[in-house]
Structure 1
Amino acid sequence: MRELTAGDAADYLRSSGRLPAGVAVSVRELSGGVSNLVLRVDAEDRPPFVVKQCRERLRVALEWRARLDRIWVEHATLRVLGELLPPGAVPELLFEDRDEYLFAMSCAPDDSETWKTRLLRGDADPAIAAALGGYLATIHSDAPNHPTRDASLADTSLFDELRVDPYYRTTARAHPRLAPQFDALIAAMEPPIERRALVLGDFSPKNILVHSGGLVLLDFECAHLGDPGFDLGFFMSHLALKRIHGVISDEQYRRLADGFLGTYFERLGDRLGSSEDVERRGVAHTAACLLARVDGKSPVEYLDGPGREVARRSALALFAQAPDRWEFLHRVLDSEARVHPR
């Protein structure tokens, strides 16, 4: 595989016939990811587009490698979501190069910024959270049986490699007394086939772009058929972390959580089994993901030492009290925020 850079991507695009030989091209690397090279390409007389190429070694402090073919999981997921979601909600696929482990997609609007960026400056719009709840419910319930779904999405090995092992098993080694709870969560992540959702595995504010015309969802290399509770816990742990960090208030956190969860469960109904069971699993995964973002292989970068300790204590309290409803989870987090303020 030829590993592209911003400096030689234009030559690749010309030599592979993706762009004419004489066209003027500028390329710059986009920031934010740890597992892929992402390049924005601006060529004259055509809309800008993005080239995404997989990298084997992830850019984190600990040694972490992953299979290159995960990029085709993302490609397959984009194809399904492009059919399911409103126009523009995910990038449009343009071309692929299987030998070079890359594909190209449409570029988000120029006024886009990540929802993470907005949250970190205290801009916590519950309407965005509610819209995301609706999107995720549609993905979870409708994608598994969609005619464009690729058979590769039934494979959970990449999810294990990119999420279960670095997040859950690594964290369990740091907290041996919690190993049985983590083992039980892992074992339950392959529910009966009729209750499996298309789980994105990385549904977080950094992978959601906000612009004047709406939202764009990104990054799907962890997607698989599995437990919808993981996506709920992964997402909710990010909201809790922003609250712990102090960039959103307790009231803002509640409005975001209520908007997201209310729309999600209203749209989902009982199509993946009882909503109470999905809720219970989502709450359990929130505790696990919260602890994993402190003591797993990919700790959240914006918390300082005291913030990490509050997050750790909050997660351990959730494990100890084992709430099975969102309201009980919120109360535990409220209690920990009062006992261990920043």
Structure 2
Amino acid sequence: MTGTAGQDPVEGLPTPVDLLGDALPEVVADCRAHVGPVTGISRLTGGNVSHVFRVEGTRGSVILKVRTAVFARIPSLRTDPAFIADERRALDVYGALVPSTFPRVLAFRPQDHAMVMTDVFPDRRTYEDRLHERPATVDELLCLGATVRRIHQATKDVQVAIRSQGDLWFRDHTFDYCLRGSGHPALDRVCEELRAQAPQQLVLGDLAPKNLSLADGRVTLCDLDNVHRSRPLFDVGYLLAHLLIHHVPRPSFLPVLAPTLLDAYYADRPPGMREGTLLAAVAAGVVLYRLDNPMVPYALRISAEQRGRLREAMVCLLDRGTFAPEELAVTVAGAV
């Protein structure tokens, strides 16, 4: 979720009344138990799959998430609304192991495909909102890297199955649209290598600035709809890719991003050469995904010319075979 669309109905998108019908009073009562008398309901923008609202009351706010049989912002894509239970399982697991970093489920209504959660963005802004205004700071990158390391360490032994379709099926599905979609053979080889590596552990799957907050000097995350089992470096490469593309308008800041984030993540256990090159390839693949995916558009504040140069630079790197994360960052800076 990336911001508030306001309390008026958003054109073309259903309201809570449309989504919940006769169940709405009970859902509002669930919210009222935590925020007091409800004073407003605002749609949050950014999510493609679920409808997300902030419910405000006299004692604070909570988040309401509702899933339907189609993607909220891509109605041509069908889905099973019962999959909201997958995210609920993920929230339970992560909340127990890394408390205060993830939303807590306050009420779950499987028959209505609705969930009420704590609001973990204290300033009501995402990190993406911040990056649109200014570059990342070194302290933020260090905090991000250390937090992701802590999350991966806390969940490395979890054996709970999260995905209704199977965690490994979802991993391959993620590879298909996020990495293999570009058609580059190097990324196909990366996917096969990641599939073969052990152990496979829980990963967040959508670790992007739109899904996290860095208010008050600490990281909080939302939207665990893509949690599955894979290699941890997928999360790190995915996050690095988003940080790089958000800094394209400020290329002088690009070279510091990769070493700062990765030093914080790996700390006293620096990655081997192969892990580093796999992570860099994942990041390059995710950059291509965000540049080129027509089905899931991603808002980037860069020109069409910059997109073209960046796309060409990523393909050239992948054609070369292997490269380090630091080389990737320098290449992005040079391309724009």
Instruction: State the TM bucket, normalised to the shorter chain.
Output: 0.7 to 0.9
Does residue 183 of the first structure (1) align with residue 188 of the second (2)? yes
Please name the residue that 1:175 is paired with: none
Structure 2 unaligned blocks of 5 or more = 1-12
Please name the residue that 1:249 is paired with: 251
Residue identity over aligned pairs, in percent, reads 24
Please name the residue that 1:266 is paired with: 267
Structure 1 unaligned blocks of 5 or more = 173-177
Cα deviations across residues 121-158 of structure 1 (Å, max 9, x unaligned)? 12422211211111212222330314xx5323562333
Cα deviations across residues 81-111 of structure 1 (Å, max 9, x unaligned)? 22333x4321122121112222111113542
Any residues of structure 2 matched to 1:53-132 within 5 Å, and which? 53-58=66-71, 63-85=76-98, 87-132=99-144
Any residues of structure 2 matched to 1:144-293 within 5 Å, and which? 144-146=156-158, 150-152=160-162, 155-161=167-173, 163-172=174-183, 178=184, 180-193=185-198, 195-212=199-216, 214-244=218-248, 246=249, 248-250=250-252, 252-266=253-267, 269=269, 275-293=272-290
Cα separation, partners in 2 of 1:325 and 1:133, compared to 1, 3 Å: same
Query: Considering only aligned residues, what root-mean-square deviation do their CA atoms show, in Å?
Result: 2.9
Cα separation, partners in 2 of 1:264 and 1:109, compared to 1, 3 Å: closer
Q: Which amino acid aligns with 2:80?
A: R
Please name the residue that 2:314 is paired with: 315
Cα separation, partners in 2 of 1:53 and 1:90, compared to 1, 3 Å: same
Is residue 141–residue 197 contact of structure 1 (8 Å, CA) maintained in 2? no
Cα deviations across residues 291-327 of structure 1 (Å, max 9, x unaligned)? 1112223243223311211221121122122334223
Cα separation, partners in 2 of 1:10 and 1:275, compared to 1, 3 Å: farther
Is residue 52–residue 65 contact of structure 2 (8 Å, CA) maintained in 1? yes
Partner SS for 1:225: strand
Please name the residue that 2:51 is paired with: 37
Please name the residue that 2:4 is paired with: none
Is residue 6–residue 28 contact of structure 1 (8 Å, CA) maintained in 2? no
Q: Which amino acid aligns with 2:49?
A: S
Partner SS for 2:156: coil
Q: Tell me the distance in 1 between the aligned counterparts of 2:78 and 2:187.
A: 22
Partner SS for 1:42: strand
May I ask how many residue pairs the two structures share in their alignment?
A: 315
Partner SS for 2:195: coil
Please name the residue that 1:12 is paired with: 23
Cα separation, partners in 2 of 1:320 and 1:40, compared to 1, 3 Å: same
Cα separation, partners in 2 of 1:321 and 1:27, compared to 1, 3 Å: same
Is residue 201–residue 231 contact of structure 1 (8 Å, CA) maintained in 2? yes
- Aligned-pair CA distance for 1:77: 2.0
